[in-house]
Amino acid sequence: MRYLITGGAGFIGSHLAESLLEGGDHVSVIDDLSTGSMRNIEHLKDRRGFRYSIDSIFNKPLLSELVDDSDCVIHLAAAVGVKLIVESPVRTITLNVEGTSLVLDAAVKKRKKVLLASTSEVYGKSESFPFRESGDLVIGPSNKGRWSYACSKLLDEFLAIAYHKEKGLPVVIVRLFNTVGPRQTGQYGMVIPNFIKQALHGQPITVYGSGHQTRCFVHVRDVVGALVALSREPKAVGQVFNLGSGQEISILELARLVKRIAKSQSSIRRIPYNEAYEEGFEDMPRRVPDVSKARKLVGFKATVRLADIIADIIEHQRRCDGL
C-alpha cells in the first residue's frame, strides 16, 4: 500500500514509517518540524519507497498531491504535550481543527481512507473507568486552557465522522493513551522522557501535582502495529478505538521506578500545578482505557511491560547523550 503520514517526522510517525517500510509499503511523510525532527527519519531517507516533504499540511496544493498519491492517510500532525498546549492555545486549536479539516477535504475528493489519531484527553474529567469508546465525555470549562486540546481533538473526531456519514469518506479514529518509547522528547511536557533525562543527569525528578494521579503507558511498537492493522481492516471504518495499556501506575511511583531502573541518585521533587503550568490548572486523576474493542477486531494487546519500556528509553537516551 501507499501511505501518507502527516507529522511523520514525529515520535510516533517515524516509528510508523519505519514499520510500514519494513513491511514493503511505500511511505510519504509531510512534517513542518515544529515538534518533529529530521533526526527521527534520517535513517529512512535512502530506503526504497520512502519520500519526505518538509512542509506544512496548510500547503494545500502539496497536501492534495500527496493525498492523491496515497491509498491511506494516517493523520498524526497535531499540537502535542501539555506544556505546548497551555502556552500556545491558539496554535493548538488552529493546527488541530483547521489542519484536520484540510486533510479530510483533500481525502474526500478521491475517497482516500483516513486514520485519525485522537487522544485519551477527549474523555476529560469522566469518572467512568475504564474509559470506553461509547462512554460520555466530560470536558472542563472553556476558560481553562488545559481543555482546548481535548475540545479541538474531539471536534476533529466529530468532523471525521461527519465526513464519513455525509460524504462516504472511509475514516478510522484511534484514541491514544500515553504512547511512549525511544525518540519521544520531553521538550513539551512528556513525563517519561523528562523523568529519564533528569535521572540520567542527576537532576531532581520533578513530579507535578500530588503525584497520586495515575496513567497507563504503552510502547510505541504496540501502537504502531495496531495503527497498521486498523488502517487495513475494512470493519474498522466509521469506528473509534482506544489504544493503550491496562497497567496503571501513579506518577510518583513512576518517578521511583525510573530512578531505580536508571540507578540514579536524583531526588524526587513535587511541584504544584500552578507553578508548572498555570493558575487553576486541572488534571485528570486517572486515565485508564478499555481496549477490548481493538483487541477483538485486530488482536491489539500491550505486550511490553512498563519496566521494559523504561529500560528501552533509558538505553536510547544514554546513546543520544553519550553517557
Q: How does pLDDT run across 145-192, given as a tens digit for each residue?
A: 778 889 999 999 999 999 999 999 999 999 999 999 999 987 766 899
Q: Which pLDDT does position 281 carry in this prediction?
A: 75
Question: Is 149 marked active-site?
Answer: yes
3-state helix, strand, coil in the chain (%, to 5): 45, 20, 35
More confident: 307 or 275: 307
Please tell me the distance from the alpha carbon of residue 172 to that of residue 133, in angstroms, as a whole number.
Answer: 13
**251 lies in some domain:** no
**What residue numbers bound the domain in which 21 lies?**
2-179+217-245+289-301
Q: What is the pLDDT of residues 247-300, one digit of tens each?
A: 999 999 999 999 999 999 999 999 998 887 767 678 889 999 999 999 999 999
* Number of domains, the chain: 1
Q: Amino acid letter at 135?
A: G
**267 lies in some domain:** no
Please tell me the total number of residues recorded for the chain in this structure. Answer: 323
**140 lies in some domain:** yes
53, containing H or E segment? strand 50-54
Nearest-CA neighbor of 113 among 1, 257, 16?
1
**278 lies in some domain:** no
Q: What is the pLDDT of residues 78-129, one digit of tens each?
A: 877 666 666 778 888 888 999 999 999 999 999 999 999 999 999 999 999 9
Q: What is the pTM of this model?
A: 0.95
Q: What is the pLDDT of residues 189-240, one digit of tens each?
A: 689 999 999 999 999 999 999 999 999 999 999 999 999 999 999 999 999 9
**208 lies in some domain:** no
**191 lies in some domain:** no
Q: Is the distance from CB of 299 to CB of 229 less than 8 angstroms? A: yes
Q: Using only the alpha carbons of the chain, give its radius of gyration.
A: 19
Q: Which pLDDT does position 88 carry in this prediction?
A: 76
From the list 123, 149, 163, 188, the catalytic residue is 149
Sign of CA dihedral 118, 122, 127, 132: negative
Please tell me the distance from the alpha carbon of residue 305 to that of residue 303, in angstroms, as a whole number.
Answer: 7
314, containing H or E segment? helix 306-321
The CATH number given to whatever domain includes residue 223 is 3.40.50.720
**275 lies in some domain:** no
**293 lies in some domain:** yes
Instruction: Please give the full DSSP string across 182-217, using - where no structure is assigned.
Output: TT--STT--HHHHHHHHHHTT--EEEETTS--EEE-
